[in-house]
Structure 1
Amino acid sequence: MSYLSELSQSQEYLSFRSSIPLRKIVVDSDSSKAEHPVYWDVGEWCEGFKKLLDYLGLAKVHLFGASLGGFLAQKFAEYTAVCPRVASLILCNTFTDTAVFSYSESAVVFWMLPSLILKKMVMGNFNTGKVDTLIADSIDFMVERLESLSQQELASRLTMNCINCYVEPQKIITLPITILDVFDEYALSNTVREEMYKCYPTAKLAHLKSGGNFPYLSRSDEVNLHLQIHLRQFDETNLSAAEPGSCLDPIPVAR
């Protein structure tokens, strides 16, 4: 019998799964692609995400992204800067330049590596030391999600995470941005965090004392509070998260 994490069996998660059905939406010419198509290039991912927003009838969105999700959120805001589709950004434990990773030269061959090697590369960033129960549960949950990904899904996400690419912050610096960070051990270094602050000097900073790599799971109440604070600035405007023309749209974590 396979082990199931506490989070995947929690009433809150099971209620979400039962009340929010999985929807399959075709966003390109390949009808075999479903909710999360495999993309090997950041530009292609941005175009696919734009098509998803078009399908859903969303003119502008507030994006929450963590790790690779945060990087892609920035790139999407940059990609649509001429005709803006992003109302604001909440960036969690993320980066502006893939050069911070050590696999940039080998990223072009990820597509041919077996799943076992790809999973080890990802799990090498998980904290295996002593952590509190909630952080341990968040790691268990993400390991489960990792096991559910196909070789192509894993390889494509790692490729986008590591292939040479960087954000041009000058194109999106005028957006309302909140940077959400944890102060305990997680996959990225303090240097990466400081670079984020430099790129967005007017961003609001939200700090959590702890939370590990996945604070949106291990410290969900605190993260949700910061999301609410961020979105209050849009109350009673056409960019309110409660308005039908806009939404808080969390980008899936790429792990």
Structure 2
Amino acid sequence: MEEIRISPDYNWFRSTVPLKKIIVDDDDSKVWSLYDAGPKSIRCPIIFLPPVSGTAEVFFQQVLALTGWGYRVISLQYPVYWDLLEFCDGFRKLLDHLQLDKVCITMENL
């Protein structure tokens, strides 16, 4: 893991793409963390959802590559939801907050 943290690509990613924290639910403890890179005029980005044990940073190489080709990419780290419908509602609120029309979702699992 330390090798990744000292890699030039990772350091470039962390220095050019800020980590944003957004609250969309009434519960202030549910914080969505995300990296939003690429042209903000694109309202149909690619969204990466990490595995349960991962963070939004795990997709830094994909973010760098795809934004280099002109795509808008959002890598998310979602808060804890104990119910699938509650998660879907929070995710929808996040998409509304970001004013996105459509999204392409890709996700990883364990």
> Normalised by the size of structure 1, how large is the TM-score?
0.24
Measure how far apart 1:10 and its partner are: 1.1
For residues 72-119 of structure 1, give each alpha carbon's deviation from its aligned partner in whole angstroms, at most 9, with x where no partner exists.
Answer: xxxxxxxxxxxxxxxxxxxxxxxxxxxxxxxxxxxxxxxxxxxxxxxx
* Aligned residues between the structures: 65
Q: Which structure's relative contact order is higher, taking Cα pairs within 8 Å and 6+ residues apart? A: 2
- Per the alignment, in what secondary structure is the counterpart of residue 24 of structure 1? strand
3-state secondary structure, aligned to 2:19: coil
**Equivalent residue, structure 1, for 2:27:** 30
Could you list the structure 1 runs, at least 4 aligned residues long, displaced by more than 2 angstroms after superposition. Answer: none
- Structure 1 residue aligned with 2:93, among 19, 30, 51? 51
Please list the CA deviations of residues 122-162 of structure 1 after superposition, one character each: whole Å capped at 9, or x if unmatched: xxxxxxxxxxxxxxxxxxxxxxxxxxxxxxxxxxxxxxxxx
How far off is 1:20 after superposition?
Answer: 1.2
**Which of 6, 9, 20 does residue 9 from structure 1 map onto?**
6
Identity of aligned residues (%): 49
Which residue identity is paired with 1:56?
L
Unmatched 5+ residue regions in structure 2? 33-77
**In structure 2, how many angstroms separate the alpha carbons of the residues matched to 1:34 and 1:19?**
22
Partner residue, 1:21: 18
Aligned counterpart, 1:216: none
Deviation (angstroms), 1:42:
1.5
Matched to 1:20, the amino acid is V
Q: Give the alignment of 1:93-132 within 5 angstroms.
A: none
Cα distance in 1, alignment partners of residues 22 and 101 from structure 2: 18
The structural deviation recorded for 1:5 is 2.5
Kindly state the Cα deviation for residue 23 of structure 1 after the two structures are TM-superposed: 0.9
Is there any run of 5+ residues in structure 1 with no aligned partner, and where? 68-254
Q: Deviations over 1:210-253 (max 9, x none)?
A: xxxxxxxxxxxxxxxxxxxxxxxxxxxxxxxxxxxxxxxxxxxx
Deviations 1:35-69 (A, max 9, x none): 232111121111111111000000110111112xx
Residues 1:41 and 2:83 aligned together: yes
- Aligned mates of 2:31, 2:17 — CA distance in 1: 16
| Alignment TM-score, normalising by the size of structure 2 | 0.53
| Secondary structure at 2:107 match in 1 | strand
Confirm whether residue 63 of structure 1 aligns to residue 60 of structure 2. no
Structure number with higher helix proportion: 1
Root-mean-square deviation (CA), in Å?
Answer: 1.5
DSSP 3-state at the match of 2:25 = coil
Alignment of 1:172-183 (within 5 A): none
- Cα drift, residue 22 of structure 1: 1.3
Report the AA paired with residue 5 of structure 2. Answer: S
